[in-house]
Structure 1
Amino acid sequence: MKTVENLVNHILETEVLVIGGGSAGCYAAIGASLRGVKVLMVDKGKVGYSGCSPFAAGAINVCLPEDNHEDWFEEIVTRGEYLNDQTWVKIQLDEGWQRVNEIREWGKKYGQKVLEEDANGRIVRRKARGNINTLTAIIHARPMMDTLRKKVIESGVQLLERIMVTHLFKYQGQIVGALGLHCRTAEIYLIKARSVVLAAGGCGFKSLFIGHNNLTGEAQYMAYRAGATLRNLDQAMSNSTSRDADIHGLSLMVGSGGRFLNGQGEEFMFRYDPKVGSRARLTKLVIGMAKEVEAGRGPIYLDLTKVGPDDQQMLRKVLPEGFRAFERMGVDPFGQALEWVPAFEGTLVHGGGIHIDTNCASNVPGLFSAGDTTCTPEHGTWSLTGLNLTFCFVSGYQAGLASAEYSKKAVPIPPGWGELESQITENVAELLAPLRRPLNITSDQIVYHILAVLIPYRVAYLRNETRLCDALNKIITLNREEIPQVSARDPHELVKAFEVRSMGAIAEMILRSVLFRQESRGFVYREDYPLTDNVNWLKWVMLGRNEQGIRVWSESFPTPYFDPPREKYIPR
């Protein structure tokens, strides 16, 4: 029998292991380093360049010291349809500006302009998607991530890039490390750690949205397999984008005068959100788009022809990727209406994830999480644009501090590996299995099958029990019969084989969670349960693992600062 040392190519050791190099992961690494511990950050791509954060789309919701915190709190909770963790909302309002201003000052030190400011140095803010009394600031995503990468390196954090982490391992009930695969060489890395922070994003299913094709849910799936509880996967989210090109920045577009029109030329969103119309929350927008198409009033368009010259210039500056795409297509986005479609994003941004406490700890000792790998507890269903980015800063920093303190008292791995040897041997065999299978089913085929089940609008947006059960049965069949047969010929295909394993599992979790919620709230619109039910369903939908597989249940939660109305009503 091979020893552990013979099974893997590299063995590393650290005190805090941060998995994921976006804004939450960077802040976690920075926070942990402040406690004087050794920190290793692993990213599937390049730290600061992969994941959601480089495509933050210019919008960040941050409450400034001069703002009325009570007004902001009430708007976030009511627009989040009362599913928010109110303690987390308060934490974010209290600490968000400190974190945002911190990165702003780091940016100045490194010669980067992170926030848009006026001639007097005041932060530029405006009403964008979902805002009524609150305001959205404009953040430059690329300078933001360049700044965070430089700060991480300056903090003495060791970077390990292009490593896909596939397995967590436990000793005496606590997480003590991880197993990973180099995406280009297939070298296997075994990392010992006294605590682990998962900040690798959610699962976007390689759907139609810019920059998210490498976010396929490994962190959430690993946590589930390790015994972590997940939450809010019923609120698997969607954004919207151009039909012809992957575009982001919708919040700034509608905040600058963009309007959604149906096939009859009507600005239809006032039907679904009379207060803000085309600036509606994403929960209202994508369901409204689906209802218009269902009623025969499609297709849907985004009309930017009324955006003024100054805002046109600002949008081109803040959102360069999308406007380069339009330019290459020979399209003037300010001269004609653009056909627009919903874009299913799964557990990205705010679509459910690991259940955490206010220290960003999961229910598994030694396992912490930050950013949109978590259940993003401040959002509720989906509250206001840009909340999630501030949450990445706040939760990342808190996860770093808490994981560092935990690492100082964690039980060390014994010399000689002991009972871990069989666990690691089994995980390595599982990791290499697709390379040994006959060429049969490819990962690309599985991706197509998953999307064909999940994203039709009568499954993703206009739902009922019959269609959801049909979709769930198809995903279960994929998970049991096809995904275990996926083969790989090289390191690239091996990475993709493990991506579809996570995608299939997360797809099943989402469908089971949506089926469990018997009401309409947020991204859950049930034709068979059309009302929001605060009498019976003011609850979080939870998910975990037992001997039979996926277990789903609900839990009531505290509302210490703002008491929701205990009644049933048409979704607001």
Structure 2
Amino acid sequence: MPKTATAVRSAPEGLHLAADVLVLGGGPSAAWGAVAAAESGATVVLADKGYLGTSGATAPSNTGTWCVPPGDNRHTVVERRWQRTGELADQRWMLRCVDTAYRNLLKLSEWGYPFPSEDDERLYIANLRGPDYMRFMRRRVLLAGVTVLDHHPALELLSDGDAVVGAAGVGRQVEHDWRVDAKAVVLATGGCAFRERILGSAGLTGDGYLMAAEAGATLSGMEFTGKYTLAPHGSSLNKGLPFRWASFHREDGSAILGPTGEPLRNGIGDREEEVARALIEGPVYARLDQAEPALQGWLRQGQPNCFVPYDRAGIDPFSDLFRITLRAEGTVRGTGGIDIVSDDCATGVPGLYVAGDAASREIMTGAVSGGGAVNSSWALASGWWAGKGASTHARRRGGKAFRNEVRPLGQAGLRPAASPRADIAATEIIEAVRDEVTPLDKNFFRSGAGLEKSGERLESVWRDVRDHLQGEGLERIRTREAASIAAAGRWSVAAALHRSESRGMHRRTDLPGKKLSLAHRLVINGVDDFRIAGASERLAELAS
């Protein structure tokens, strides 16, 4: 019989639980982390900003995985992928990931997940239908005895001065505060989409980044936020695959030309740059006229939600021109996040672990996007490692009481450094950040001068957040999200300015080439007065 969390106090005063492991988040990495910890014998609480099973970018998607079966070919596949990562990924981590992800895909099959069969009746385990997958994982989490707190966003971590010992937040629907005392915490809170309108991004505001940094953890890869995905104009559908078979046109119907003067075809991958340049100049239209009839049927069957916006608008995308845009995806399909310092996804802060998009994926994808497949396998693997690591840490603590008085760590958006000001609103803060980190001419194409200006503006925004932004009751959710978005934007721009080269999705128009001296990760340490160092320097600090 699975062990369950202990109630310390319940409503009306607020919810207070105690457990071995607390998982924050509601996507696949959170679910895998909770299951791994519970199967290791830990009592586990999972607190999600939304509803476990529908939260995050995976739930509304049809996502592939980086599925590489065991064998001699595995090293070849990893080596080939590594060649595309801008020399920043680590092949040992990549091999660990494909191995653990493959074993967890087999676990899904053993547990009864309904994978489709191929023509030879073998199960096709490389693809996961987001809604089915996350609904299945919710059941598995509950079956493991995990206490699930839906609609309970975390606002801050708790510390006893030596280690992270839990978290606190507010129940969105019940409108009371909650606290979970835990011997270890797994941050699986996802990336930061900077409030861009993309599928599953509403709750992806970088909360985990700020909480981790306040606890003393570091971040890396924050400069790699230049991933954009094509979408129908006015739609949140950031599913770029069909645009592989598109032609592109200006508002007057003339064809957009590629780098060698031919009409542009296939707008994903390297050709996104041509589309981005055209979009900076004016409206751009597309038509999926490169897809043969048989392929059109396959696309509709394999990616049905891609065609909902067209069908609702009465557009046949294979024959009609329709307006498009590029949606910024921040660190969701970017790379940056909380730095990992050990194989069990520890952060370097005792008691704090990280998984999924909340973690930096540089060790997996380097300077390029992990897209859906690599990021999906990373969630399968890192969630498992973090859950196991957190449960091991909890066992080591045993029945020890907290060494000192527990204190909350949250600052910006919760406890302003100066007096609160009513004229500083969360919505305005978020829009000010978006103005610097989502426009194509500032973030897709970057320059030193532009980054310096954006950095100055974001420093001004941050001062307002740090000194004056505060909410009461449920409004604390919004102010804390605004603070997290502001922090993530500030770190992203500062790291981009520090990386004085072009590498992967980090494109400097003033510095177009790669520098051998920058073939390493940039690690950010601190919140208010932060500094940026090379990964080797940070490791030396930890060793000392």
Aligned residues with identical type, % of pairs:
24
Give the deviation of 1:384 after TM superposition: 5.5
Q: Where in structure 2 are the equivalents of 1:521-536 lying within 5 Å?
A: 521-533=503-515, 535-536=516-517
Residue by residue, what CA displacement relative to the aligned partner does 1:169-200 show, whole Å, maximum 9, x if unpaired?
22242111111111234311111000111001
Q: Is 1:470–2:456 an aligned residue pair?
A: no
Closer, same or farther: CA 430–543 of 1 in aligned 2, 3 Å: closer
User: Which whole-Å CA distance do the structure 1 matches of 2:155 and 2:166 have between them?
Assistant: 11
Larger deviation, residues 211-220 vs 116-125: 116-125
One of 12, 15, 24 as aligned partner of 1:10: 15
Is the Cα–Cα contact under 8 Å of residues 233 and 325 in structure 2 kept in the other structure?
A: yes
Q: Where in structure 2 are the equivalents of 1:25-44 lying within 5 Å?
A: 25-44=30-49
Q: TM-score, normalised by structure 1?
A: 0.83
One of 464, 468, 476 as aligned partner of 1:481: 464
One of 230, 233, 246 as aligned partner of 1:259: 246
Larger deviation, residues 190-199 vs 85-94: 85-94
Closer, same or farther: CA 171–59 of 1 in aligned 2, 3 Å: same
User: Which whole-Å CA distance do the structure 1 matches of 2:438 and 2:26 have between them?
Assistant: 28
Is the Cα–Cα contact under 8 Å of residues 58 and 249 in structure 1 kept in the other structure?
A: no
Is the Cα–Cα contact under 8 Å of residues 416 and 466 in structure 2 kept in the other structure?
A: no
Q: Is 1:20–2:4 an aligned residue pair?
A: no
User: Which whole-Å CA distance do the structure 2 matches of 1:187 and 1:514 have between them?
Assistant: 40
For the residue of structure 2 that corresponds to 1:248, the secondary structure is: coil
Structure 1 match to 2:232:
242
Give the deviation of 1:293 after TM superposition: 4.4
One of 261, 278, 295 as aligned partner of 2:266: 278
One of 102, 109, 112 as aligned partner of 2:107: 102
User: Which whole-Å CA distance do the structure 2 matches of 1:309 and 1:552 have between them?
Assistant: 52
Closer, same or farther: CA 287–123 of 1 in aligned 2, 3 Å: farther
One of 167, 170, 181 as aligned partner of 1:192: 181
Give the deviation of 1:76 after TM superposition: 1.2
Task: State the Cα RMSD in Å.
Answer: 3.1
Q: Is 1:358–2:343 an aligned residue pair?
A: yes
Is the Cα–Cα contact under 8 Å of residues 238 and 342 in structure 1 kept in the other structure?
A: no
Larger deviation, residues 144-153 vs 302-311: 302-311
One of 521, 537, 543 as aligned partner of 2:524: 543
User: Which whole-Å CA distance do the structure 1 matches of 2:127 and 2:261 have between them?
Assistant: 28
Q: Is 1:86–2:91 an aligned residue pair?
A: yes
Is the Cα–Cα contact under 8 Å of residues 48 and 146 in structure 1 kept in the other structure?
A: yes
One of 265, 268, 273 as aligned partner of 1:287: 273
Residue by residue, what CA displacement relative to the aligned partner does 1:380-437 show, whole Å, maximum 9, x if unpaired?
112554101011001111111111111101276637x9522xx24x859974889x96
Structure 2 match to 1:162:
151
Q: Which amino acid aligns with 1:61?
A: W
Is the Cα–Cα contact under 8 Å of residues 21 and 47 in structure 1 kept in the other structure?
A: yes
Larger deviation, residues 535-544 vs 313-322: 313-322
Structure 2 match to 1:132:
none
Closer, same or farther: CA 149–186 of 1 in aligned 2, 3 Å: same
Q: Is 1:220–2:204 an aligned residue pair?
A: no
User: Which whole-Å CA distance do the structure 2 matches of 1:106 and 1:239 have between them?
Assistant: 36
Is the Cα–Cα contact under 8 Å of residues 544 and 552 in structure 1 kept in the other structure?
A: yes
Residue by residue, what CA displacement relative to the aligned partner does 1:248-280 show, whole Å, maximum 9, x if unpaired?
3323x25xx5235253425738899x9xx7375
Give the deviation of 1:5 after TM superposition: 10
Q: Which amino acid aligns with 2:388?
A: L
Aligned residues: 520
Structure 2 match to 1:565:
none
One of 366, 372, 387 as aligned partner of 2:357: 372
Q: TM-score, normalised by structure 2?
A: 0.87
Is the Cα–Cα contact under 8 Å of residues 262 and 292 in structure 1 kept in the other structure?
A: no
Q: Which amino acid aligns with 1:258?
A: W
Is the Cα–Cα contact under 8 Å of residues 45 and 163 in structure 1 kept in the other structure?
A: yes
Structure 1 match to 2:69:
64
For the residue of structure 2 that corresponds to 1:84, the secondary structure is: coil
User: Which whole-Å CA distance do the structure 1 matches of 2:432 and 2:411 have between them?
Assistant: 27
Structure 1 match to 2:3:
none
